[in-house]
Amino acid sequence: LPIQAPNLSECQTSGTSSGNNCCPPYSATILDYKFTPTGKLRVRRPAHKVDEAYLAKYKKAVELMRALPADDPRSFVQQANVHCAYCDGAYDQVGFPGLELQVHESWLFFPFHRLYLHFHERILGKLIGDDSFALPFWNWDAPDGMILPRIYTDPSSSLYDPLRNPAHQPPEVLDMDLDDGDAPTRQKQIERNLSLMYRQMVSNAKTTPLFMGLPYRAGGNLKPGAGSMENSPHSSIHIWVGDPSQPDGEDMGTFYAAGRDPIFYAHHANVDRMWQVWKKLSPRNVDFTDRDWLDTSFLFYDEDARLVRVKVRDCLEPEKLGFTYQEVDIPWIKKRA
Ligand code: C2O
């Protein structure tokens, strides 16, 4: 059976492993989510290539989100808490008291994060009155994108987060393979990253569970197994961005705090883009058809602060959710390692 959307009235305010209260504001009314197309597609673009006009809008939107009262489910704090609640033990599985609900290290990884970003993006757009607003994606799979995107590094901007690794500021090249230590040159590090991309998207991703993660059903134990992309570079980039002098690599390096860094959403936009790219690489690369996956549901607050229930089956095509990715080069595809 599919895992059901959590019961918000049973959210554990102190039950998280980090000891934080990540519970969302309560609402007794839950709507079944119906996406209403506006005719305008939100086109997500590479973060290192956005223009000034876009950047101004994006900064404004995040500024407004940060300014919302902390008990508004659309506020920046509450948006970060969504991630914390779904991965730090705030919810038990409905019908299984004591059994933690966790969206990482299983087949829920891609759909949960796609939906989380979808609502986050719509809220940002609503705040600036732009229903075609799109998040940027951190294009870390291409050499030009393999640094922390500069739009996030201005300390006076709403996109800044002080809790990051000071040694990993631009122009330091991203190290996707933390185990291997520092490469001798920038070029070598870029080559290593491209080979890692090839391994995780092709060699280690030949079946749906290998790429997307293992089945996780009602009553099942958390973290049955992550897919290749979630393991690396997804997780290694989280750790690379976070501040190693903080107890748990906050913000990006730990589940409860990751969503407090605006870069989280650009990082996950590229992870989400990789799901799309993978499906186009080979006819064998297809989504699960298992109903337990398709019927898994989550709760989110939408741009009008309404609590909605949404199913995995409703998020499989980005265009049906009103967004898409600008087409860019896939440089790692020739990097068989
Ligand atoms: Cu929910 Cu990148 O982690």
Return the domain boundaries, the chain: 8-327
Q: Is 238 a catalytic residue?
A: yes
- Name the pTM for this structure: 0.97
pLDDT for 335: 74
Q: How far is the CA of 137 from the centre of ligand 1 (A)?
A: 15
User: H or E stretch including 82?
Assistant: helix 76-87
Q: Is 267 a catalytic residue?
A: no
Does the C-beta of 48 come closer than 6 Å to ligand 1? no
Are residues 323 and 43 in contact, defined by beta-carbon separation less than 8 angstroms?
Answer: yes
pLDDT for 241: 98
Which of the residues 48, 76, 104, 264 is marked catalytic? 104
Binding-site residue ranges: 83, 104, 113, 234, 238, 268
ipTM above 0.90, yes or no: yes
Instruction: Write the burial class of residue 193 (CB in 10 Å: 0-12 exposed, 13-18 middle, 19+ buried).
Output: buried
Q: Which atom of ligand 1 is nearest to the CA of 83?
A: 1
Q: Is 104 a catalytic residue?
A: yes
Among 337, 100, 332, smallest CA distance to 216 is for 100
Q: What are phi and psi of 299, to 5 degrees?
A: -115, 140
Binding-site residue ranges for Cu cation: 83, 104, 113, 234, 238, 268
- The fold adopted by the segment(s) 8-327 is di-copper center containing domain from catechol oxidase (1.10.1280)
Does the C-beta of 199 come closer than 6 Å to ligand 1? no
Among 88, 127, 83, 143, smallest CA distance to 268 is for 83
Q: Whose CA is nearest to atom 3 of ligand 1?
A: 255
pLDDT tens for the 337 residues of the chain, in order: 999 999 999 998 876 677 789 999 999 999 999 887 777 899 999 999 999 999 999 999 999 999 999 999 999 999 999 999 999 989 999 999 999 999 999 999 999 999 999 999 999 999 999 999 999 999 999 999 999 999 999 999 999 999 999 999 999 999 998 876 777 899 999 999 999 999 999 999 999 999 999 999 999 999 999 999 999 999 999 999 999 999 999 999 999 999 999 999 999 999 999 999 999 999 999 999 999 999 999 999 999 999 999 999 999 999 999 999 999 999 999 877 5
Cis before residue 24, ω within 30 degrees of 0?
no
pLDDT for 15: 64
Which of the residues 113, 118, 120, 267 is marked catalytic? 113
Among 90, 85, 79, smallest CA distance to 121 is for 79
Chain centre distance of CA 207: 22
pLDDT for 14: 75
